Amino acid sequence: MSQDNSVVRLEDYIPTPYSIDHVSLTVRLDPLETFVTSTLSIAPREGGSEEAALTLDGDDLVFVSARLNGDVLEDSAYSASDEQFILKNPPQEAFTLELVTKLAPQKNTQLMGLYRSNGAYCTQCEAEGFRRITYFYDRPDVLSVYDVRIEAPVEVKYLLANGNLVDSGTMSTPEGYPEDQLWHYACWQDPFPKPSYLFALVAGDLARVEDRFVTRSGRDITLHIYVEHGKEDRVDHAMDSLKRSMKWDEDVFDREYDLDIFMIVAVSDFNMGAMENKGLNVFNDKYVLAKPETATDTDYALIEGVIAHEYFHNWTGNRITCRDWFQLCLKEGLTVFRDQEFSSDMRSRPVKRISDVQQLRARQFPEDSGPLAHQVRPEVYSEINNFYTSTVYEKGAEVCRMLETLLGKEGFKAGLDLYFDRFDGQAVTIEDFIASFEEACSVDLSQFALWYRQAGTPDLVATYSYDAAREQLSLSIEQSCPPTPGQPTKKVMHIPVRFGLVGRDGSPVGFTSVIDANSGQEIGKSDCTVLEIRERQHKFILTGVSKDAIPSLLRGFSAPVHLRTNLTHDDYLCLMGHDTDPFNRWEAAQFILMDHLVQQTRALQAGANTSSHALDDSILEALKACLMDDSLEHAFRAQLLQLPIESDVGREIGHDVDPDAIHRARESLRHALSTALGDSLIDLYKALDDKDTSFRSDASSAGRRALRNGLLDLALARKEEAISDLAVAHYHNATNMTDRFAALASLTRNEMPAANALLDAFHAEFTNDALVIDKWLSLQASAPQEETLQRVKDLLSHPSFSMNNPNRVRSLIGAFAMNNQVQFNRKDGEGFKLVADIIIELDKSNPQTAARLANNFRSWKALEPDRQGQAKKELLRIANTESLSKDVADIANRCLQ
Ligand code: PHE
Ligand code: ZN
């Protein structure tokens, strides 16, 4: 096991004894000998402890020299190692410290700090990468104004940093370089004080696409997107998304852009999705590049969302930043909420909500129910990189959404306005954030704030009954929250439950008032739409309910909880057919299908054969009615067609999980549905054929494609040759990647013999297009069949794969571990072993990406005993690996606890 058990605690926070008000950096670029000269204007903080030593962070640094107020420092006045620079007796008034370090970006395989991607230089500093460039107070509460001068040979065409370009030109060739080598420089100034994690530098021979945006106050902003040469034709959608984001943030949140230029750079080697560096966002190219022939509708939507997310960070993250990394959700939760809202406005709100909830359930719920569960605002960490999680991001966004639900749109806006006003230019905490809403709305949010401090997904059990004589509907909701690591018991939370009533004939039903039966107080009239659950057992009475009605609860998924009710199947069928809340129509269908899958899986595990439980006819009829209902959006109907995913079924079952049984149950349900829906699937598929071949990427065109492809996929569950032929034709006739890849994926996942030849053809056609090859890799890795294990092993040595590129690793190994429940969780342990081997290997070059892969072990404790044993063996093997990184050790050790 790793011996490094040092942890950082929220309660230990203290400000630095010195401030660094100004940073002047000169970076002379060279693949193996880059010199960084950093001149810091430092001053003791008022009230800071007097004569404290100045201790700056470093990571893997080569120290060159140090000067204090211009004079070379005596050896005895400081100490410098790869991890720290200490100035022993700093002056007690303002002073300047000049530090020189030497870097080898070409050798930086961690992709943190300054590194190279396809020949270009770029940086990644969040969370603690700046200390790999120069010594600094590398923490978010130290805000400085930066001046940056970049020097490089002229072949390194563009020299970029944060802020505005203030000077550029040619320079004399530095000593040690061939005299005929021409050099140039560029100077950038960022007037906004920022923490070091927002620093960025990019330099390289890239292609540039230009545009403009005029802000609502009339300022003209230059927009530049930089990509590798030859990719210029894939930038339109990203640029358009950027302009729409800028406009939307003005319209909806009154946030205007603040510099004269906004730049995006797409690089092909990147650990995460993208990074919001001030004025110079650096992106994984996967979230920038799109054209119809290579990107799917899903890619288009993701790009729009990520571009918006990074742009929105300019206010939520950059102008107002985090005091310390425990507050990460302050910027991430809020910014995810903002990008979700943006996408909802650009596309279909219900469809977006459903897909966000699908994602929350697929990623955050498993985290929250296993050994890696943590608070939205954690209180202790050993490696901060491991806290860029779905809990911090997606559950953090849910907490913002609940605030909006509780305070109403106007109250929420008032709170945010106060937050922007009061904290602009500061590094703040969740408490500051909450206080803004309390003050703006005169409410007490102390119980609500538990959402930041208690891990785990709360369980709600709702029971309703109708009293016809009294015309009353009573509703009792009981809450509990399962134990999570370090939190055996939980306090009672404040949970918004959006609701309405639906009559048994499908018509909406009204009420006259809502009474809180716990207090006896009337808390709402006929327009009440949200119940605020604040007690362990909270009971409400709706009066004036003239006829028997079904409560539609948690509309729009108003809280990230697990809800069970005493609604019957018939109640759910009624909601599915008639609820005015589209989310709950979809949710009702999911509930029925999930219930069926759980029962079927249990039966299979108990030894029954596959067709033990037939699917109820009434369910089939209801599903068919929705599918054929032209008043419903195509994209929504496509979502109705998707059965609960296997990992969700596993979590619903909770323990003794057998992924093979789940897979068999789900396949047999698909087969049953496909058979029962029969020709209607293909008829509708054909009716949806759009003769217009010009590609439009808008939501409604994408929705039509999604439904059409979903129908074809379900039809293929019957594994009939005629349908396989149809899918092959669909592949060949496709005029865009969405349709083409959908056909390939359906043929592959449904194990149709035609798939293999098409997989080869697809590879041949897109050999040189890495982002398309990623789809090809992940599709093969997610195929449930037995041979997949060997195929993934073979692909590891395929020329299209590289262990050095995070996108390739995630596409092959990440997809195998995340999307292939059957093969990753193989009973013989070979799936775990393969992933563990990769984690151990990758850890040597890129610990951050290795640790992300290790997260896939998070649900191992819910497996049946044999599989548990296999998973544990591999986790122990990982944990006991010599010189394991802190990143991977942290995940493995927490999984094992
Ligand atoms: N802050 C980035 C975002 O969410 C994510 C990120 C974290 C990128 C750490 C790189 C490194 O927008
Ligand atoms: Zn973010």
Closest C-alpha to ligand 1, atom 11: 126
One domain for residues 140 and 13: yes
Residue 102 has pLDDT above 60, yes or no: yes
Cα 234 versus chain centre, distance: 23
H-type alpha helices, 512-655: 569-578, 582-605, 617-628, 634-641, 646-653
Domain assignment present for residue 484? The answer is yes
One domain for residues 503 and 555: yes
One domain for residues 443 and 468: no
Per-residue confidence (pLDDT) for residue 613, from 0 to 100: 64
Q: Cα Rg for the chain, rounded, in angstroms?
A: 28
DSSP states of 621-657 as a string?
HHHHHHHH-TTS-HHHHHHHHPPPPHHHHHHHH-SSB
pLDDT tens digits for range 488-525:
999 999 999 999 999 999 999 999 999 999 999 999 99
pTM of the model: 0.98
One domain for residues 140 and 96: yes
One domain for residues 333 and 465: no
pLDDT tens digits for range 631-673:
999 999 999 999 999 999 999 999 999 999 999 999 999 999 9
**CATH code of the domain containing 369:** 1.10.390.10
CA of 313 to the centre of ligand 1 (A): 10
Answer yes or no: is the C-beta of 331 below 6 A from any ligand 1 atom: no
Domain assignment present for residue 608? The answer is no
Residue 275 has pLDDT above 60, yes or no: yes
One domain for residues 524 and 442: no
What is the C-alpha to C-alpha distance for residues 412 and 344, in angstroms, rounded to an integer? 18
Closest C-alpha to ligand 1, atom 12: 275
What is the C-alpha to C-alpha distance for residues 204 and 122, in angstroms, rounded to an integer? 9
Residue 333 has pLDDT above 60, yes or no: yes
Answer yes or no: is the C-beta of 272 below 6 A from any ligand 1 atom: yes
**CATH code of the domain containing 32:** 2.60.40.1730
One domain for residues 487 and 394: no
When pLDDT is averaged across residues 348-371 and rounded to a whole number, the result is 98
Per-residue confidence (pLDDT) for residue 567, from 0 to 100: 98
Per-residue confidence (pLDDT) for residue 1, from 0 to 100: 38
List, edge to edge, every strand of the sheet that includes 280-284: 207-214, 220-227, 261-267, 280-284, 274-275
Answer yes or no: is the C-beta of 276 below 6 A from any ligand 1 atom: yes
3-state secondary structure 849-869: HHHHHHHHHCCHHHECHHHHH
Per-residue confidence (pLDDT) for residue 5, from 0 to 100: 61
Which pLDDT band, with edges at 50, 70 and 90, does 692 fall under? confident
In percent, how much of the chain has pLDDT > 70? 99
In percent, how much of the chain has pLDDT > 90? 97
One domain for residues 365 and 494: no
Is residue 310 annotated as part of the catalytic site, yes or no?
yes
One domain for residues 428 and 477: no
Number of domains in the chain: 4
ipTM exceeding cut-off 0.90 for this assembly: yes
Closest C-alpha to ligand 1, atom 8: 275
CA of 145 to the centre of ligand 1 (A): 21
CA of 335 to the centre of ligand 2 (A): 6
Answer yes or no: is the C-beta of 648 below 6 A from any ligand 1 atom: no
Name the residue range of residue 851's domain: 767-896
CA of 225 to the centre of ligand 1 (A): 19
Per-residue confidence (pLDDT) for residue 46, from 0 to 100: 87
Q: Which of 304, 310, 332, 383 is catalytic?
A: 310
Choosing from 182, 205, 228, the residue where a domain stops is: 205
CA of 719 to the centre of ligand 2 (A): 43
Q: Are 71 and 34 in contact (CB under 8 A)?
A: no
DSSP states of 167-232 as a string?
EEEEEPPPTTS-TT--EEEEEEEEEEEE-GGG--EEEES-EEEEEEEE-TT--EEEEEEEE-TT-G
| Atom of ligand 1 minimally distant from the CA of 332 | 4
Which residues, by Cβ under 5 Å, contact ligand 2, an ion? 332, 335
Owner of token pair 């070409």: 106
Q: Which of 269, 275, 328, 329 has the most ligand 1 atoms within 8 A of CB, as the residue to mutate?
A: 275
What is the C-alpha to C-alpha distance for residues 668 and 377, in angstroms, rounded to an integer? 42
When pLDDT is averaged across residues 373-387 and rounded to a whole number, the result is 98
Which pLDDT band, with edges at 50, 70 and 90, does 611 fall under? low
CA of 393 to the centre of ligand 2 (A): 8
Angle at 11 (CA atoms; ends 9, 14), nearest 5 degrees? 95
Answer yes or no: is the C-beta of 124 below 6 A from any ligand 1 atom: yes
pLDDT tens digits for range 14-38:
999 999 999 999 999 999 999 999 9
Helix (H) or strand (E) holding 266: strand 261-267
Domain assignment present for residue 37? The answer is yes
Query: Residue type for 659, please?
Result: P
Angle at 298 (CA atoms; ends 293, 303), nearest 5 degrees? 90
What is the C-alpha to C-alpha distance for residues 194 and 145, in angstroms, rounded to an integer? 6
Choosing from 452, 473, 506, the residue where a domain stops is: 452
One domain for residues 61 and 166: yes
Angle at 249 (CA atoms; ends 339, 412), nearest 5 degrees? 75
Which pLDDT band, with edges at 50, 70 and 90, does 861 fall under? very high
Answer yes or no: is the C-beta of 275 below 6 A from any ligand 1 atom: yes
Residue 3 has pLDDT above 50, yes or no: no
Residue 629 has pLDDT above 60, yes or no: yes
Answer yes or no: is the C-beta of 126 below 6 A from any ligand 1 atom: yes
Per-residue confidence (pLDDT) for residue 610, from 0 to 100: 60
Answer yes or no: is the C-beta of 662 below 6 A from any ligand 1 atom: no
Please give the DSSP secondary-structure letter assigned to residue 506. S
pLDDT tens digits for range 808-848:
999 999 999 999 999 999 999 999 999 999 999 999 999 99
pLDDT mean across residues, the chain? 97
Domain assignment present for residue 360? The answer is yes
What is the C-alpha to C-alpha distance for residues 50 and 44, in angstroms, rounded to an integer? 8
Choosing from 178, 205, 232, the residue where a domain stops is: 205
Per-residue confidence (pLDDT) for residue 2, from 0 to 100: 39
Per-residue confidence (pLDDT) for residue 200, from 0 to 100: 99
Residue 53 has pLDDT above 90, yes or no: yes
